[in-house]
Structure 1
């Protein structure tokens, strides 16, 4: 009786082993299906990781916009674009607006509202209208509209919270220029471009693909339409020679000096509590990366140990089952 009881236990163990392997394959199949369904999100996340690696390794290769004598055949036209949701510009930004209009008084001034920008999308870019209207945040439309405006008309775009202190006419000789931001990449509050610029073409035709949720509002805005969207797209763009970077000392947001062309007033009116959390992550990203790496390593080693132990136990069960089967056959 004891012998048959051992056979029964061995049989149950063999069934458990078979069930383990069946469940494992089902889990793998489920993971594969989930990956195929979420491949766009996964691609975006991989592109973001690649982008950070690119800027760390190849920042020195980015073309810098340098002061030079303006050529007679400038690429960007003399047009200054600014945007707001309506005609009523907030009082706190009126002086900044006036300073830029005065500094670029020989430029055609175009002021865009949400209504006029929407009309531009309807008339010239109807293929983007559905995505444009579907953005959950107004700031995403504000970001997107500047790319379409510059692609259509060219010229200079400035946020209303940017005060002008020095004229940068020489930027009109470049295809596309955006300022360096912290910690990496481009900002999008100061842009200069020629109409129909290839990089702007790349931007506007990737807005739809990147129109997705990135866990929190701040990250969603930044990576779907904002500065990090521009930065990631640059790292993926194959014709980088046509894109130039406005140095920090000229941009003036993080350092002020004799070369600074702008004073940046308090803006970022769309930032919420999630932005503070993201800034905290940026501040301690090295420590968090080390901590996360250690946690991942410990978890991986623990899982490997569990899997290895389970495999050895399963192997012993198979050996015992085989031995009992042979004994039973011999007894028969």
Structure 2
């Protein structure tokens, strides 16, 4: 077995996480050019929680320029996507590769102690020697699962939240996979979405299976449902019917202040639908009248 990304993984561990939050609004046909209503209120929660961070909202125009400048060899792949959600999915990978920082979907809302929680999740004593950066350079999260812990550990890696230093080799690997997966017969989730990211992560780990175990362990942290709760990220469980009044009182109030219809709506058990954010998938319904409920990061 070989370790093709050994040098890049080693360098990534010596890089500090940029204090930049990235979000994206690649407006579907008929949607406002900027997030409006509930999504706008939710997005502005981030600057409140991350007061000393930069906040970047990527639009369709900025996204295309990003691909033209930093990945021109993949621009044709990006332009081949006929759904805005696919372009948004792909763009977040390039953003992480080029700039690093934190990426969060617009339905992810932080509580005030988010920065501390992020530091706890990515850092920690004993991860490295005194002459190294004591943190993992990449944080991924698995899709939440309320069932048995054994099932949580095998849930797919999702794409609603990333934290990463720039130039982590995983992102370059994932970007190269986009070309071969752009015509996947099973659609968006497998072409660019969370199932794509999960496939890319598993493939990247296999490719670097010959790397020293310690290097691989320190190259990324992949959190499960329980891991998020231990780090007080427990609110990232929106579609599982989590009782926010119990798990994240501050987040529950924030969602109410975001003009969502009723607090009891926050506590109902209803599956999360990523398609809520694309008129292409729901052409007869108004995008923002659906009142998408936020994921709340405590």
Q: Tell me the TM-score range normalised by the shorter chain.
A: 0.5 to 0.7
Of 235, 245, 264, the residue aligned with 2:222 is 245
User: What is the CA-CA distance between 1:155 and the residue it aligns to?
Assistant: 0.1
Instruction: Give the total of aligned pairs.
Output: 197
Q: Which has the greater radius of gyration?
A: 1
User: What is the CA-CA distance between 1:185 and the residue it aligns to?
Assistant: 1.3
Instruction: List runs of 5+ in structure 2 lacking aligned partners.
Output: 1-13, 28-32, 123-134, 146-154, 209-215, 256-265, 267-271, 283-298
Of 61, 76, 87, the residue aligned with 1:115 is 61
Partner of 1:180 in structure 2?
Answer: 142
User: What is the CA-CA distance between 1:102 and the residue it aligns to?
Assistant: 0.8
Question: Which structure's relative contact order is higher, taking Cα pairs within 8 Å and 6+ residues apart?
Answer: 2
User: What is the CA-CA distance between 1:88 and the residue it aligns to?
Assistant: 1.6
Partner of 2:182 in structure 1?
Answer: 211
Of 161, 175, 179, the residue aligned with 2:107 is 161
TM-score, normalised relative to structure 1:
0.54
Q: Which has the higher helix share?
A: 1
Evaluate the alpha carbon distance shift between residue 182 and residue 169 of structure 1 in structure 2; reply closer, same or farther with a 3 A threshold. Answer: closer
Evaluate the alpha carbon distance shift between residue 120 and residue 109 of structure 1 in structure 2; reply closer, same or farther with a 3 A threshold. Answer: same
SS in 1 for 2:187: helix
SS in 2 for 1:85: coil
User: What is the CA-CA distance between 1:90 and the residue it aligns to?
Assistant: 2.3
For residues 168 and 36 of structure 2, the distance between their equivalents in structure 1, rounded to whole angstroms, comes to 31
Partner of 2:19 in structure 1?
Answer: 78
User: What is the CA-CA distance between 1:182 and the residue it aligns to?
Assistant: 4.7
Aligned residue runs from structure 1 range 1-332, under 5 A: 75-85=16-26, 87-165=33-111, 166-167=113-114, 168-170=117-119, 171=121, 173-182=135-144, 184-214=155-185, 219-238=186-205, 239=208, 241=217, 242-248=219-225, 249=229, 250=233, 252-253=236-237, 254=240, 255=242, 258=247, 268=274, 269=276, 270=278, 272=281
For residues 95 and 244 of structure 1, the distance between their equivalents in structure 2, rounded to whole angstroms, comes to 30
> Which stretch has the larger CA shift, 90-99 or 189-198?
90-99
Evaluate the alpha carbon distance shift between residue 124 and residue 156 of structure 1 in structure 2; reply closer, same or farther with a 3 A threshold. Answer: same
